[in-house]
Amino acid sequence: MQIDYQSIQKKIAGQQLEAALVDLSAVLDADPDALDALYMTALCHRYLQRFELAQSFLDRLKKRSPDHSRGHQEQGHLYRALGQLEFALQAYQRACQLNPALEASWKAQFDILTHLGRAQGPQARQAAAQIQRLKNLPKALVAASDLIAHGKLLKAEDICRKVLKKAPRHIEAMRLLADIGARLGSLDDAEFLLESALEFAPSNTQVRIDYSQVLRKRQKFSAALKQAKILLNSDPENLQFQSIYAIEAMQTGAYTEALDVFDGILSKLPNDPITLTSKGHALKTCGRQQEAIDAYQMAIRSRPQHCEAYYSLANLKTYSFSDAEISAMHDQLGNVQLSHMERVHLCFALGKAYEDQEAFALSFGFYEQGNQLKKLQSAYNAEKMTAELARQKDFFTRSHFEAASNEGHSAPDPIFFNSLSKVILEFDLTEKQIRGLIALNELLKA
């Protein structure tokens, strides 16, 4: 079925909402899981003030795609229409975490925080800064950032390359291109791009944060800690920089120092679930297991849907969940606000809980569900892999190699698949897309 979403969008923009709903209903009859149709249907019902119907379609959307950024933005709009401002704020924050290019969500956060008398707080300042940042960016790069958030990496890469051809030292274009490289597994290229960007703009905070993260992924822990230290020295009172520094300190084995920093953060943000969980990780590694358990449990009390803490308790291997904890986890199963990974963590934790009780059928069911959810994030498909390898075999013929016999490096050393080859193998790419990735790889190395 050919879906003309542009026509539907025009009807929505022209307030022809009932006509748009007729078209969307036809789409959903053919494909009940069509994400764009679910999103647009929820939006139409909100415009028509049919709030319960709007929520029902958002629930379907988030069940199918828990990390759909515009779905969370629409949830924020719905909560706001219902006057539930704190819930709206949480939804907008989730949307922006998933997709920093959603200017409407940043503006909504700022407006709500101002209405609640918190215009001078850190959240409002962050929202205001991001709104200004998006306004200052070329529209092409805002679009590229949005495409990255939706997993459309090749389209985003093409936009970034075009910007860099016109402005070879555009910092945000370099940063986004590095992000694409990192997502595709080209960590060495991402590191080079971010290192170069910092040479041109050493005060760019986001570039340095990204650089430290890539260094950590490459297991260059001392180098990552050095970058975190530079961030912290630039603004010692910044809690985000403190957290980054503590996490990098943990990677180098400086657990006592990391714990001191986490305690300092908690003195200013009591019961912050993310910090408590990170502190629990440090305590666990130090062998202070009961204190780690206390930290994880405190994180859960602070935010019951913070399912990473449940997973962390399960991952201790020696911890057994109480009946009350199992009941609380079951309560969270019906929480449509859970992110994709929160639901994965919850399933694995319940699997461990029932395994300890020797309720193996229940245990296996939750492990299976967790693995199925986790698999949704993987691009691997056995049939696509087989087809791709067959295409490579057809393309790389003896005559192809003979024609290229005088190219390449003269050294006789054996070579191994690099990260680019891994990407080509794992994704179902056309020949044109493969050539585009090779061109990207060359640009990154230029």
Listed as ranges, residues in the chain with pLDDT below 50 are 416-428, 445-446
Write down the pLDDT at residue 418.
Answer: 46
Structure tokens at 412: 């006789």
Q: In order of start, what are the domains of the chain with their CATH numbers? A: 5-131 (1.25.40.10)
| Rg of the chain over all Cα atoms, to the nearest angstrom | 24
CA distances from 242 to 267, 366, 427 (A): 13, 36, 37
Distance from C-alpha of 158 to C-alpha of 8, rounded to nearest angstrom: 27
Distance from C-alpha of 167 to C-alpha of 126, rounded to nearest angstrom: 28
Number of H helices, E strands in the chain: 26, 0
Q: 107 CB contacts (<8 Å, ≥6 apart)? A: 127, 131
Contacts 24+ apart (CB under 8 A), 340-345: 340/66, 340/67, 340/373, 340/376, 340/377, 341/308, 342/66, 342/305, 342/306, 342/307, 342/308, 343/66, 343/307, 343/373, 344/370, 344/373, 344/374, 345/307, 345/308, 345/310, 345/311
- pLDDT tens sequence across 339-374: 889 999 999 999 999 999 999 999 999 999 999 888
CA distances from 135 to 101, 102, 104, 139, 215 (A): 10, 12, 12, 8, 30
Q: 139 CB contacts (<8 Å, ≥6 apart)? A: none
Write down the pLDDT at residue 424.
Answer: 46
Distance from C-alpha of 78 to C-alpha of 313, rounded to nearest angstrom: 35
Distance of CA 61 to the CA centre of its chain: 17
Strands (E), 146-219: none
Q: 389 CB contacts (<8 Å, ≥6 apart)? A: 425
Write down the pLDDT at residue 377.
Answer: 67
